[in-house]
Structure 1
Amino acid sequence: MNVLTKKFTTIHDTAPFSSIKNEDFLPAIKQGIDAARKEIDAIVANPDAPTFENTIEAMTFGGEILERASSIFFNLHSAETNDEIQKIAMEVSPLLSEFGNDVRLNSALFERVKAVYNQKDSLNLTEEQKTLLDKQYKSFARNGANLPEDKKNKLREIDMELSKISLQFGENVLAETNAYQLHITNEADLSGLPEGTIEAARELAASLEKEGWIFTLDYPSYVPFMTYADNRELRKELAIAFGAKGFQKNEFDNQEIVLKIAKLRHQRAELLGYASHANFVLEERMAESPEKVKSFLNDLLAKAKPAAQKEFAELTAFAKETDGIDHLEKWDGAYYSEKLKQKLFNLDDEKLKPYFKLENVLNGAFTIAGKLYGLTFEEVQDIDKYHKDVTTYEVKDENGNLVAIFYADFFPRKGKRNGAWMTSFKSQYVKEGVNERPHVSIVCNFTKPTETKPSLLTFNEVTTLFHEFGHALHGMLADTIYPSLSGTSVYWDFVELPSQVMENWCYEPQALALFAHHYQTGEVIPMEYINKIKESASFQEGMATMRQLSFGLLDMGWHSADPGGITDLKAFETEQFAPTQLYPDVKENAMSTAFSHIFQGGYSSGYYSYKWAEVLDADAFEYFQEKGIFDRETANKFKDNVLSKGGTEHPMILYKRFRGHEPRPEALLKRAGLL
C-alpha cells in the first residue's frame, strides 16, 4: 500500500516519513496527477453556469494527493537527497510541468474562469476572493491560455526542457560541492584556525578513515577557513575550488545549461508577448518592471559605491601594512576583514561563539516569538522525521490552540544542499469550517557539535537562524481561507520582509539578554560585546551592499534582455560585474554556474528583492523601535496586517495598513551608515 496516496493517520496529519519508501514517490505523484485531472474534467463538464464556488474554489481546493506527495518529495530532494531521489526527480519534473501546462492551456477551463472573471464586479466577493480570482485568471492569461495551438505546443516544449535542465543545474552544483576536499596532513597549515573548526575537520577526516584534517565547500567548513586560515596559498586553493563549481569543463559543467536556461526563458516570455523574462516576472511583483528594478539597484549603487571604494582602500592598506600584501585578492577579503574588524572593535566570532549555543539561540527565537505573538514551542518526540538530526515542535497560542507544527534541521550532510531555507509540508487553509494548521520547516547548515563542544554559532549564523525563523513565522501565523494565498505565498519582493525584519532583534540588548548566555558559565553576553556588535553592524556595509547589488544586476543582465547573443558566459559576467567590481577577477571562477538562487530556485529576475525588502524591514523595524521592541500592540499590527494575511491583498496595501505610510529608503541608508 502506498502511504502517500491515503489520508495520513498520524498525529496532526504530519508526514509519516519512516513509512515512505523512495519507490512510493513516482506512483503517488502519477496517481495524484490522475486524480487532479479528474477533478479538472469534472469542473469543465459541470452543466451549471460557472460560479466562483464551482470553478475558482473547486480548482483551489483540488489536487490534494498531488500537492502532498510532491511537496514531501521536493523537500527531501533538497534536504535529504540520494542518487535514487535525484533519478526520480528527473522523471517527476517533466510530468508535473506537463500537467501544469495541461491545466493552464485547457481552453474550456479558461472559458469558465474567464466567465467568472468578467462578472467579478457584481459577485460581491471578499478581498481575498477577489485576489484569488485575479490570480487564477492571470495564471491562465500569463501562461499561454490565449495562444493559438501551435504556440501552446511550443510553450509546452520549453517548459518541459526548463524543468529538466534546472534540476540538472542543481544536481551539478551539489556534485561539485561534494567532489572537492582539501586534505591537510601538516599541522602547520592549520595556523589561525579556531579550535572548533580544526576539531570538526579532524572528525570529518576520521569518519572517512583518513589521517589529518579535511575541509570541504560546505559553508561551516569553508567560511571559517577563508576567514581565519593564515596559509594564503591554501585559502587561494579553496576559494578557487568554491568559485569554480559548474565551471570546470567536466561532466558537471553548467555553462551550456545557464545559456540554455536564459535563452529558453527569453523565448518563453516572447511567446507570451513580453519583451523579456524579467518583464514577464516583474508584472506580478511590487517592483513592476525591469526599468524600475534597475533604477532601484543603480540608485543604491550610487549611494554605496563611494563608501565601498573607501572601505576597500582601507582594507587594502591594512593588508599591506599587516603582511605586505600588494594586491588584495578575493581569497584575502574575509581574512583581512576579520583582522581589521578585530583591530577596530576588538571583536571576533571566536569571542562571541560561546554565547551562541545553537539550542539557546533557537530558544531565544522562540521566546521572542512568545513575547511578540504569544506563541509557545514545545519539542515533541512522537512526530515522524526524515532524518535523526531533525527536531519537531508543537506551536501553540496563548489559549493552548495548535498554531503549527515546526521542523528544524540544522546540520550539513551529504544529501543536503548548501545554504538555508524555509519550506512547508502542508499549507494553512480553511475548508468546511476547519482551519487546517500548517507544517513548517527550516533547513540550515550550521557547525555540528563535536565530541567536546556543542554547536556554537557565529553571529552571522545567529542572524541566519532568525532570518529563516522569520519566514517560518510568516508560514505558521497564516490565517487565510485559500492555500494558494497562505503564508509565504506573496509577491516575491515582499516575501523577505518577515524574515529580514526578524534579524533586527539579534542586535538589541533586551533581546540578546534572553538567549546569549555563555554555554559553560551561563553568563549573559557582556554589554561591551553587544555595543560592539551594534557598532560593527555597519562595518564594510558599503562593500556588502555592492556585493548584493552585483548579484541583483547579474540576474537582471541574464533576464532583462535577449540573451541570444551571449556565447561566452565568463565574458558576459565580467561585463555585468564591471560597475560593482572591487577585487581583481579570478579567471578560473564564474558566479552564474553555481548561482542556484536564479537558475534553480525561484529568484530569477527577483534577486533584487533582498535589497528591496531591506528597505521595508528597516522602515518596519524603526516603528518597533519607536514603540518598544516587544510592544504587543505593534507586534499585533504586524501580525494582523502582514504575517497572517499572506498574499490575500496587494503587499503595499498591507504594508501601509501596518505602517501608516509607504516604506522610506532613508531608514535603510541610516541603518547601513550610508547616509
Structure 2
Amino acid sequence: MIKLPLSKPLSALSLCAIVTFTACKDDKNEPKMSDNILVQEWTGPYQGVSAFDKMTVSDVKPAMEEAMALGLADIERIANSPEAPTFENTIEEMERSGKVLNRVFVYYGIMSSNVSSPEFRDVQTELAPKISEYNSKISQNEALFKRIKAVYDASQEQPLPADQQRVVDLIYKNFEMNGANLDEAKKKRYAEINKELSSLYTKFSNNVLHDEENYVTYLTKDQLGGLSEGFIKSAAKIAADKGQEGKYAITNTRSSMDPFLTYSTERELRKQVWTNYYARGDNGDEYDNNQLIAQILKLRKERVGLMGYDNYAEWRLQDRMAKTPENAMNLMMAVWPAAIARVEEEVADMQAVADANRDNISIEPWDYRYYAEKVRQKKYDLDSEEVKQYLQLDKLTDAIFYVAGELFNYKFTPVEKGKIPVFHDDVNVWEVTDKDSGKHIGLWYLDPYAREGKRSGAWATTYRSYDSFDGEKNVLASNNSNFVKPAPGEAVLVSWDDATTFFHEFGHALHFFSANVKYPTLNGGVRDYTEFQSQLLERWLSTDQVINQFLVHYKTGEPIPASLVEKIKKASTFNQGFGTTEYLASALIDMKIHLADPENIDVDKFERETLAELNMPEEIPMRHRTPHFGHVFSGEGYATAYYGYMWADVLTSDASEAFREAPGGFYDADVAEKLVKYLFAPRNSMDPADAYRLFRGRDAKIEALMKDRGFPVPKD
C-alpha cells in the first residue's frame, strides 16, 4: 500500500484550514518563520533531512497553524497578482507554494502512522477540521481558480509542452472535481461537509487503533501448541514489555494474528484471536465505527450531489484508469465466480483433512488458515514453517537491493547510526546511489517492527519526492512494516506472504526513487495504476537469482534445497481461492456501499446482506471488514478504489509475460530498460494507459491474471 499521510499536500494544489496564526514579514517582505523545529528548513547532509529526533507533540499544533498561514499567504499572492495569468506566474508559482506545510506534514504523518500517542490523537482531532477549512480556502478561492481556468482555456487553444500541459490539466481537473465551479451557497455547504468528514476520518482511524492496542490475547505456557520457537519468544517479550511477565501476547494485528491462526492447535483461542481481529471497530462500544461510516457515506453522497453526480463512485472514478464504476465492477465480477468456486474446493480439501484426523468439526473462519496449512503439507509436502527458516528479513533486504541494482542500477549503502535523525531506534537508513556514476539518488528509511502507537499493515511513503523544478531534489523514501520484533539475538523470520509484501512495498520505493519529472504535481498518481509497479516487483521474489542467493537457513547458512523450491513453485496457485475472495469481497463492498442509498443505512446489515447476495463463502471473512476498513473510511485515497489492486494485477500479470518471453527472463536488460523508462520514471507525467502501451505495445489482457491464479481462462 502506498501511504500519503492524511491531507498531505504534494503542492499548493493539494487541498489542505483557516488558521489564527498570522504570518509576519521581514524587511524584504518575505514570510518570516518562527523557531518551531517542525517548520524549519531541513539541514544537514543529503540536501537536508527532517529533524525526527527533535519533534514533539507540543510543537505540532503551532507548527501546523503557522505553516497553513504561510501557505494561504502564498495562495493569496498568486490569486491576487495584477499580471495576466500565465503558466509561469500562476501554475509554476503554485508548484513553488506550500513548502513549509509540506515539511510539517512529514512530521504529522510520522506521528499519525508510526509513533502515535493519546496526546497526539487529541491534537489530531483538534486540527482535522482546521486542515479541512484550509483545503476549502484553496479549492474555493475564486480568484485563484479564475487564473487557473484562464491558463487551462488558453492551453486548449494553443497546447503547452507535454509536461506543462499535463500539470495544467491535472490542476484544473482537481479544482473542478473539488467544487470550484459551484455557486456560493453550494461552496459553503461543500466546505462544511469536508470539515465534518475530516473529523469523522480521524475518529474512525483512532477507533481502529484503540481496538488494535486494547484487545490483546495472553497465553499461558500450556496454550502454545503448534507455535514455533521464534514466535513464542517474540510473544513472551511482547507480554513482558506489557507488564505480563511469564505470559505470551498475541496482539491484535495481522502480523501476530496470521501466524497464530495458521499454527495454533488451540481452537477456542484461535476463535478468540480471530474474533478480536475481525471485530475491530465493531464492538458496540464508544469506539464502534458503524454509525461513523453511515455518516461518512451520507456526507460523501451529498457532497458529490452538489456537483450533479448520482453517487460518490461516479465522481471518484472519472480520472482513474477504470473511468466508471461499471468498468471496475465488470472486472471484479469476471474474477469473482472463479474465486468462490476455488474456495469451495479448498474447503472440501480442508474438511477431508479434519475428518481424517477425527477432529469432529466443520470448517469455520478461524480454522481456515490452520487446515489450509495441513492441506498444503499433504498436497505439496510443503510446510510453511519450514519455508520461513529460509526467509530472514536481513537477507530479504539484501535481495531487494540486488533486484534494484539489476533493474535500476541502484546501490544501497547503510548510513551510520546517528548520522541521520530517526523517529525510533528501530529505524535504519541507507543511501541510494547510481552504481556506475555514483550519483546520489536519495535515502531509504526502513521501519520494520510492530509496536504500540504504530498503525497495522505495511506501507510506503516519501518525506521528499524528486522533481527538477528549481533544481534537482533527492528522494527521501520510507518503507514501514509490522513484523513481530524478535527476542534479542534471534533472526526475524517471515512467511512467504510477508516476504511478498516486503517486495511489494519496496516497489513503491523504487517508483519514488526512479521518478523523472520536472513538476511536483506530476509526482502524484492514478490510484488504480500506482499499485501496479509495486505488485509487479513482487514477481522478483520467486526468481532463481533471488532464491539461490538470498534464501539461506537462518541457523546453518545452507541455501534453500532445490526440492523445497520446487514445492514452493508447484504450490504457487495454492489457496488462491482464499486470497482472491477475501480481497475481492472488500473491494466489492467498497464499491457497492458507495453505489447504495446511504439514507438510514445499517452498515453491518448491508455488509451481511451484500455478501449473502454475492454467495460469499461463510468460511472466510472479507480481508478488511467495513468497520475497520481504513483504506476507505480513514480518508478518501482508496474509497471506491480498492478494486485498484485487481486492476493493477491485470497489468502486473500481463507485464510479467513480457519478461517471461524475453531472452534474459526477469533480468532481461532491454525489457528492464523499458520498465524503468515507461512504467516507473514518468510517474503521472503521462496517461497511464499510454505509458503501458509504450511498454507492452498493446493494452493489457485479463487472461494472464487468470492463468497466474490457476483459474479457468475465459474464452473469447
Which residue identity is paired with 1:495? T
SS at match of 1:5: coil
Give the Cα separation in 1 of the matches to 2:357 and 2:646.
34
- Alignment match of 1:16 (pick from 51, 69, 79): 51
1:92 and 2:127 aligned: yes
- Alignment match of 1:244 (pick from 268, 276, 279): 279
- Alignment match of 1:444 (pick from 445, 467, 481): 481
Which residue identity is paired with 2:591? M
Whether the 8 Å CA contact 1:480–1:648 is kept in 2: the answer is yes
- Alignment match of 1:640 (pick from 667, 677, 689): 677
CA offsets per residue over residues 125-160 of structure 1, 9 Å max, x none? 222211110111111211111111111111111100
1:133 and 2:171 aligned: no
How much does 1:659 deviate?
1.0
Whether the 8 Å CA contact 1:615–1:664 is kept in 2: the answer is yes
CA offsets per residue over residues 502-548 of structure 1, 9 Å max, x none? 11111222221121112222211111121111111100212321222
Give the Cα separation in 2 of the matches to 1:269 and 1:533.
48
SS at match of 2:528: coil
- Alignment match of 1:315 (pick from 338, 342, 350): 350
SS at match of 2:446: strand
Whether the 8 Å CA contact 1:373–1:639 is kept in 2: the answer is yes
SS at match of 2:438: coil
Give the Cα separation in 2 of the matches to 1:224 and 1:307.
23
1:596 and 2:633 aligned: no
Residue 181 of structure 2 is matched in structure 1 by 146
- Alignment match of 1:671 (pick from 676, 688, 708): 708
- Alignment match of 1:576 (pick from 610, 620, 642): 610
1:389 and 2:423 aligned: no
- Alignment match of 2:518 (pick from 481, 497, 505): 481
Q: Relative to structure 1, is the Cα distance of residues 8 and 590 closer, same or farther in structure 2, using a 3 angstrom cutoff?
A: closer
Give the Cα separation in 1 of the matches to 2:628 and 2:159.
48
Give the Cα separation in 2 of the matches to 1:422 and 1:543.
25
1:424 and 2:462 aligned: yes
Residue 554 of structure 2 is matched in structure 1 by 519
CA offsets per residue over residues 93-150 of structure 1, 9 Å max, x none? 2222111111111111111111111110444422221111011111121111111111
SS at match of 2:527: coil
Which residue identity is paired with 1:401? K
Which residue identity is paired with 2:445? Y
Give the Cα separation in 2 of the matches to 1:196 and 1:183.
17
Which residue identity is paired with 1:651? P
Q: Which has the higher helix share?
A: 1
1:649 and 2:683 aligned: no
Greater Cα shift, 155-164 or 10-19: 10-19
Which residue identity is paired with 1:189? Q
CA offsets per residue over residues 627-658 of structure 1, 9 Å max, x none? 21111221111111111111111100001101
SS at match of 2:529: coil
Residue 194 of structure 2 is matched in structure 1 by 159
Residue 228 of structure 2 is matched in structure 1 by 194
Whether the 8 Å CA contact 2:460–2:479 is kept in 1: the answer is yes
Which residue identity is paired with 1:643? F
Give the Cα separation in 1 of the matches to 2:413 and 2:617.
47
Whether the 8 Å CA contact 2:393–2:493 is kept in 1: the answer is yes
- Alignment match of 1:459 (pick from 477, 496, 501): 496
Give the Cα separation in 1 of the matches to 2:159 and 2:247.
71
Whether the 8 Å CA contact 2:136–2:191 is kept in 1: the answer is yes
How much does 1:614 deviate?
0.7
TM superposition score normalised by structure 1: 0.96
Residue 210 of structure 2 is matched in structure 1 by 175
SS at match of 1:283: helix
Q: Relative to structure 1, is the Cα distance of residues 43 and 77 closer, same or farther in structure 2, using a 3 angstrom cutoff?
A: same
SS at match of 1:125: coil
SS at match of 1:646: coil
Percent of aligned pairs with the same residue? 35
SS at match of 1:404: strand
Give the Cα separation in 2 of the matches to 1:407 and 1:643.
20
Residue 337 of structure 2 is matched in structure 1 by 302
Greater Cα shift, 540-549 or 279-288: 540-549
- Alignment match of 1:410 (pick from 448, 465, 472): 448
Q: Relative to structure 1, is the Cα distance of residues 315 and 585 closer, same or farther in structure 2, using a 3 angstrom cutoff?
A: closer
Give the Cα separation in 2 of the matches to 1:205 and 1:440.
32
1:221 and 2:271 aligned: no
Q: Relative to structure 1, is the Cα distance of residues 92 and 338 closer, same or farther in structure 2, using a 3 angstrom cutoff?
A: same
Q: Relative to structure 1, is the Cα distance of residues 255 and 241 closer, same or farther in structure 2, using a 3 angstrom cutoff?
A: same
How much does 1:450 deviate?
1.4
Which residue identity is paired with 1:667? A
Give the Cα separation in 2 of the matches to 1:114 and 1:230.
64
Whether the 8 Å CA contact 1:75–1:423 is kept in 2: the answer is no
Give the Cα separation in 1 of the matches to 2:342 and 2:624.
26
Give the Cα separation in 1 of the matches to 2:209 and 2:659.
40
Give the Cα separation in 2 of the matches to 1:540 and 1:591.
20
- Alignment match of 2:668 (pick from 614, 631, 652): 631
Give the Cα separation in 2 of the matches to 1:472 and 1:585.
32
SS at match of 1:103: helix
Whether the 8 Å CA contact 1:390–1:408 is kept in 2: the answer is yes
How much does 1:20 deviate?
2.2
Residue 400 of structure 1 is matched in structure 2 by 438
SS at match of 2:235: helix
How much does 1:270 deviate?
0.8
Which residue identity is paired with 1:14? V
Whether the 8 Å CA contact 2:264–2:270 is kept in 1: the answer is yes
SS at match of 1:11: coil
Give the Cα separation in 1 of the matches to 2:620 and 2:464.
44
Greater Cα shift, 208-217 or 224-233: 208-217
Structure 2: segments with no counterpart, 5+ residues: 1-34
- Alignment match of 1:204 (pick from 212, 215, 238): 238
Give the Cα separation in 2 of the matches to 1:81 and 1:208.
17
Whether the 8 Å CA contact 2:253–2:277 is kept in 1: the answer is no
Which residue identity is paired with 2:710? G
The residue correspondences of 1:243-262 to structure 2 (distance < 5 A) are: 243-262=278-297
How much does 1:355 deviate?
1.2
Which residue identity is paired with 1:31? E
Residue 337 of structure 1 is matched in structure 2 by 372
Q: Relative to structure 1, is the Cα distance of residues 426 and 632 closer, same or farther in structure 2, using a 3 angstrom cutoff?
A: same
Whether the 8 Å CA contact 1:312–1:582 is kept in 2: the answer is no
